[in-house]
Amino acid sequence: MHRQNYDLIVFDWDGTLMDSTAAITGAIQQACVDLGLAVPSREQASYVIGLGLEDALRHAAPELPHADYPRLAAAYRKHYFALDGQLVLFDGALELLHELKSVGYNLAIATGKSRIGLSRAMDRPELRGLFDTTRTADETFSKPHPAMLHEIMAELASPPRRTVMVGDTTHDLQMARNAECDAIAVSYGAHDIAQLQSLSPVGLVHSVTELQGFLQQRG
Catalytic residue among 12, 168, 172, 182: 12
Residues 131, 184: Cα–Cα separation, whole Å: 18
Residues 71, 68: Cα–Cα separation, whole Å: 5
Per-residue pLDDT tens listing for the chain (219 residues)? 545 689 999 999 999 999 999 999 999 999 999 999 999 999 899 888 888 888 888 888 998 998 999 999 999 999 998 988 889 999 999 999 999 999 999 999 999 999 999 999 999 999 999 999 999 999 999 999 999 999 999 999 999 999 999 999 999 999 999 999 999 999 998 888 999 999 999 999 999 999 999 998 865
Specify whether 12 is catalytic.
yes
Reported residue count of the chain is 219
CATH class of 21-85: mainly alpha
SS3 label, residue 181: coil
Q: In the chain, which residues fall in CATH 3.40.50.1000? A: 8-19+88-218
Q: pTM of this prediction?
A: 0.91
Q: pLDDT, tens digit, for every residue of 156-183? A: 999 999 999 999 999 999 999 999 999 9
Catalytic residue among 7, 14, 68, 84: 14
Q: Which CATH architecture has domain 8-19+88-218?
A: 3-Layer(aba) Sandwich (3.40)
Q: pLDDT, tens digit, for every residue of 79-110? A: 998 988 889 999 999 999 999 999 999 999 99
Characterize the bridge pairing of strands 182-186 and 163-167.
parallel
Q: In the chain, which residues fall in CATH 1.10.150? A: 21-85
